[in-house]
Amino acid sequence: MTLDVQFKLKSNPLYIKYLHENSYWYKTLNRDPSSFNRFKEEMRTNYKLRTSDKINKALSTFEMISEVMQALK
């Protein structure tokens, strides 16, 4: 694994956690360091860290609060 990829992985604890949970990425990143972007996107998708995931979570929270307020009336 190149030093650049190692530094990127160590810069974010979520990268390390995902790498431990999905160890096949060790081989992939060793053989093709340019696949780091695919690794990062897969991690963000599985941990629901994309912008759309955050918006959906905020909307569902807002809907829940709205329902609670309606129930209290």
pLDDT along the chain (73 residues), means of 10: 94 96 96 96 94 91 93 88
pLDDT at 73: 82
pLDDT at 53: 87
pLDDT at 1: 87
Pairwise CA distance, residues 48 & 61, whole Å: 15
CB-facing half-sphere around the CA of 52: CA atoms within 13 A? 3
The verdict on pTM exceeding 0.85 is no
Q: How many CB atoms lie within 10 A of CB 18?
A: 19
